[in-house]
Amino acid sequence: MKLSAAHKNGSLQIAVLLIFLMPILNFAQTSYNNSGLFSPVNRLKFGNYLFADKDYLRASAEFKEYLKSFDDDTVRFNYSLCLFNIGKYEEASDNFKTLFYGNPFTEKARLYFYESYFFGKDYKELRDLADNQNYKSVLYSKGIERLKNISYLMDDSRLPEMNSFLSVFDDSVQSRIAKFYYQKKNPKHKNPVTAAIFSAIIPGSGKIYTGEIGDGITAFITTALSAYLAYSNFKADHNFRGWLFTGLTAFFYSGNVYGSAASAQIYNARIRFNFDKEVKIYFGERNYFLPKSDY
Amino acid sequence: MTKLKLLTICFVFLIATQLHAQTDWVKWDAQTVSYELRKTQHHEYTIDKSDFGMTLISFGRNVYYFFISDLDGDNCPFNPTCSQFLVQSIEETNIFVGPLMFADRFTRDLNFIKGRDHYQIIPNGKLFDPVCNYTLNSKKIKF
Amino acid sequence: MKARALFILSFMLFAFVIQAQDYLKLQFNYANDLFKAEQYYDAITEYKRLLLFDSTNTYRYQAEYKIGESYKGGAKYDDAIKYFSHAEKDAQGKDEIFAAKTQVIRSNILRRTTDRALQLLDELEKDSTFRGEIDTIYYWRGWAYMFADNWKSAARAFATINPSHPLKLLADQTDRAKVSVTFAKVISYILPGAGSIYTGKILSGLMSLAWNAAAGYWTINAFTSNRIFDGFVVGELVWFRFYRGSIQNAEEFAVQKNIDIANKSLRYLQNEYKGIKP
């Protein structure tokens, strides 16, 4: 009897051992990809790790794989943030849109949705969406309005009425933004036709009008000198040289008329360029008056 | 549940601030980098065969390069040089407008006091003055 | 009875550890396969995955080192240096530290931040821990100089390892083949076009000489004929221009010729040299 009990005990232990060993043996037989590291849970863990490391491109790939198995709002939101951070704004806005209803990210998703349009430079669409009050945010409505108004300074669209434009900004910054508004509304442009006419009347004057004083004086001297040489050569009966300098005069004269118009265009483009740069620096330094990001 | 989710995000954010940012914004491939030293650019003796006029002009430019420009040193302060500007401006516009652009460029080259704040200075010390800025198409202007 | 239970528990624990190590090893091999296939971006992803799940830090050094190598393979030297530095911190033993440190130097050589590479090599040489690695230090110093186009110093560095080191011979040969930029300029001051001829640009040199001779004749002729204004104009706008051009050309041709000579050696190093490369 004793022997039989001991035997029974031993068999039980072996059975227990086998039960515990089974998963291990089973593990060896399972394919590598389905095991441990590539399971959805571990993909999520790895995705979060990469997200924290700001390796958004790789993180987005992991989140995407996870979302194939499970739909999770947090993961979807982080996935959208990854797309946003790597500049895939269109894809990001589509994904933020899926979080608009019935989850804790509704408000933030809506803000990022508009930000995606703003940073994706689709200003017109941003304004249309904001004006139509689509996907209105309760918490961030003012931030979205600010983005919308800043977008007017970024492209060639018609500015809204000044008071409504400024009202969404704090009093402390309104005077500076009002300056931007005036600069945008009444840029100090030079007229290319006027510049060309000036140079047609007095060579070089069109260039001086556009601020290129040195070029204007040079154009005047070269045109006048070649015209004088043409005149003096004709007078001295050196007809060939006379015609040569006449051609040169025409060359300098017409080139200067054309160049004055081009100079006015460059002047205007520089004003636009400097304005855009100033706007980007000013608002960029203030993060476009957006709420501080938690991510 | 909501709190848990927000906590997760906050946790991720906290770690994020501790670590360095990555630079892999797009997927990239292996790259073989040449050991060789970089050579400075020379005049290219190319012939534009797009039409007869351009063939003639580019041939004339090559003759100028060969007999004069390659021998009289580095004189033009601009990039592209005046001879390159002439050919490019005709290519960009036409045989009538191109020479007008060149006449304007030539006059600006004669100006001893060039507005250095009006031209961007590129790494080789030349004044950046591309043809596209003078086509009277404001959308093509670049700084 | 207790002993038996303890045995079973220990066995299970052992089995789990083995299991964990197995899949980490599989992951490491998987990443290595991607690395060997030059799929560096994907290899980095998998090494990073390994880093996260390797709780015992068994593969930490190797994974960081390999990430550094992957970035190097993609010519992203800043990132490569960052990960080699991480590997250096996690290295165990002086061999691993030395390997990581030399990789930082090699990345600097490829990035052509020669001063930094040389500075790190100096530090390594001063470190008594690596006294046994002096040949390797001089080897990479030679490479740093070759990449900086300083073949004389490169030859000296390789000669320290072995006076008949193949790279010493190559560096010497390259240095000897180079032309003197100063000499090319000086002879062009004396005889316009001579510098160009010296650098092998014979036609250009002769044309330069011809322009200078013609312009000189016109200028002197104008002055001797009392056409002072013409003399100044031709002298300034033609003669002086071509005279200065001949000196500029002599310098440029000499520099270009030296670059061609250096590039021939660098091409050999990149494509034919069988030894270890940066």
What does the pLDDT look like over A144-182, one tens digit per residue? 999 999 999 999 899 999 999 999 999 999 999 999 999
Cβ-Cβ contacts under 8 Å between A and C: the total is 39
Token pair 């050309």: residue? C249
Query: What does the DSSP 8-state code read for residue B116?
Result: G
Residue C88: inside a domain: yes
What does the pLDDT look like over B18-68, one tens digit per residue? 444 556 889 999 999 999 998 876 677 888 888 888 888 888 888 888 888
Residue C198: inside a domain: yes
pLDDT of residue A44: 96
Cβ-Cβ contacts under 8 Å between B and C: the total is 73
Q: Residue B115: is its pLDDT beyond 70?
A: no
pLDDT of residue C212: 95
Residues 6+ apart with CB under 8 A from A121: A154
What does the pLDDT look like over C122-139, one tens digit per residue? 999 999 999 999 999 999
Buried b (16+ CB within 10 A) or exposed e, A31-54: eeeebbbbebebbbbbbbbbbbbb
Which residues numbered 23-82 in C keep a CB inside 8 Å of some CB on A?
Answer: 23, 26-27, 30, 45, 48-49, 52-53
Residue C93: inside a domain: yes
Last residue of a domain, one of C111, C137, C167: C111
Whether A266 and chain B come into contact, CB under 8 Å, resolves to: yes
pLDDT of residue B1: 43
Residues paired with B121 in a beta bridge: B127
**pLDDT band, residue A293 (cuts 50/70/90):** confident
Give the angle subtended at the CA of C47 by the CAs of C41 and C51, to the nearest 5°. Answer: 140
What domain range includes position C98?
A: 19-111
Record: contact B28-C252, CB cut-off 8 A = no
Record: contact A24-C16, CB cut-off 8 A = yes
Contact A143, A291 (CB under 8 A): yes
Largest CA distance in chain C: 127
Whether A104 and chain B come into contact, CB under 8 Å, resolves to: yes
Record: contact B33-C207, CB cut-off 8 A = no
Residues paired with B120 in a beta bridge: B128
Token pair 């002298």: residue? C235
Query: What is the Cα Rg of chain B in Å?
Result: 25
Record: contact A53-B16, CB cut-off 8 A = yes
Query: C192 in helix, strand or coil?
Result: coil
Q: Which residues of C touch A45 (CB under 8 A)?
A: 52
**Total domains in the fold of chain C:** 2
d(CA A192, CA A239): 36
Which residues numbered 129-158 in A keep a CB inside 8 Å of some CB on B?
Answer: none
What does the pLDDT look like over C92-109, one tens digit per residue? 999 999 999 999 999 999
Residue B120 φ/ψ, nearest 5 degrees:
-80, 135
CA distances from residue A219 to A195, A256, B108, B119, C44 in whole angstroms, order as listed: 13, 7, 8, 18, 61
Record: contact B13-A294, CB cut-off 8 A = yes
Of B22, B36, B71, the CB nearest to C245: B71
Interface probe, candidates A20, A34, A42, chain C, greatest C C-beta count within 10 A? A20
Task: Report the pLDDT averaged over residues C23-37.
Answer: 95
What does the pLDDT look like over C75-95, one tens digit per residue? 999 999 999 999 999 999 999
Residues belonging to chain B with any Cβ–Cβ distance to chain C shorter than 8 Å: 20, 22-24, 27-31, 33-37, 39-40, 67, 70-75
Give the angle subtended at the CA of A275 by the CAs of A126 and A116, to the nearest 5°. Answer: 25
**Subunits in contact with chain B (3 or more CB pairs closer than 8 Å):** A, C
Give A58→chain C minimum CA distance, Å.
7
Do C107 and C189 lie in a common domain? Answer: no
What does the pLDDT look like over A69-112, one tens digit per residue? 999 999 999 999 999 999 999 999 999 999 999 899 999 999 99
Whether A182 and chain B come into contact, CB under 8 Å, resolves to: no
Q: Which residues of A touch C8 (CB under 8 A)?
A: 13, 16-17, 20
pLDDT of residue C4: 59
Residue B17: inside a domain: no
Of B36, B71, B74, the CB nearest to C207: B71
Average pLDDT, chain B: 81
Token pair 């040389």: residue? C118
Record: contact B104-A262, CB cut-off 8 A = yes
Give residue A38's identity as a one-letter amino acid code.
Answer: F
Q: Which long-range contacts (CB under 8 A, 24 or more apart) does C21-24 make?
A: C21/C58, C22/A28, C23/A32, C23/A35, C23/A36, C23/A37, C24/C50, C24/C53, C24/C54, C24/C58, C24/C59
Q: Which residues of B touch C197 (CB under 8 A)?
A: none
pLDDT of residue B43: 74
Q: Residue B8: is its pLDDT beyond 60?
A: no
Give A37→chain C minimum CA distance, Å.
8
Last residue of a domain, one of C111, C141, C165: C111
Average pLDDT, chain A: 89
Q: Is the ipTM of this complex over 0.85?
A: no
Range with lowest mean pLDDT among A126-130, B71-75, C222-226:
B71-75
Percent of chain B scoring above 70 in pLDDT: 81
Residue B3: inside a domain: no
Q: Residue C261: is its pLDDT beyond 90?
A: yes
Record: contact A46-C49, CB cut-off 8 A = yes
Record: contact B101-A258, CB cut-off 8 A = yes
How many residues are listed for chain B in this entry? 143
Interface probe, candidates A14, A58, A62, A229, chain C, greatest C C-beta count within 10 A? A58
Which two structure tokens, joined as six digits, stand for C66? 């390999």
Record: contact A51-B108, CB cut-off 8 A = no
**pLDDT band, residue A30 (cuts 50/70/90):** very low
pLDDT of residue A223: 96
What domain range includes position B135?
A: 52-140
Range with lowest mean pLDDT among B6-15, B87-96, C131-140:
B6-15
Record: contact A256-B110, CB cut-off 8 A = no
**pLDDT band, residue A49 (cuts 50/70/90):** very high
Which residues numbered 199-238 in C keep a CB inside 8 Å of some CB on B?
Answer: 204, 207-208, 211
Task: Report the pLDDT averaged over residues A107-127.
Answer: 95
Q: Which of C85, C82, C117 is nearest to C100 (CA)?
A: C85
Whether A274 and chain B come into contact, CB under 8 Å, resolves to: no
Last residue of a domain, one of C91, C111, C131: C111
pLDDT of residue A25: 44
Whether A72 and chain C come into contact, CB under 8 Å, resolves to: no
pLDDT of residue A13: 61
Of B9, B22, B110, the CB nearest to A294: B9
**What is the C-alpha end-to-end distance of chain A, expressed in Å?**
70
Task: Report the pLDDT averaged over residues C20-31.
Answer: 87
pLDDT of residue C6: 57
Residue B31: inside a domain: no
Q: Which residues of A touch B108 (CB under 8 A)?
A: 215, 218, 259
**Total domains in the fold of chain B:** 1
Give A201→chain B minimum CA distance, Å.
17
Q: Look up the CATH number of the domain holding residue C29.
A: 1.25.40.10
Average pLDDT, chain C: 92
Token pair 């300034």: residue? C236
Record: contact B110-A268, CB cut-off 8 A = no
Q: Residue C34: is its pLDDT beyond 90?
A: yes
Residue A36 φ/ψ, nearest 5 degrees:
5, -85
d(CA C77, CA C93): 25
Record: contact A259-B104, CB cut-off 8 A = yes
Task: Report the pLDDT averaged over residues C40-65.
Answer: 96
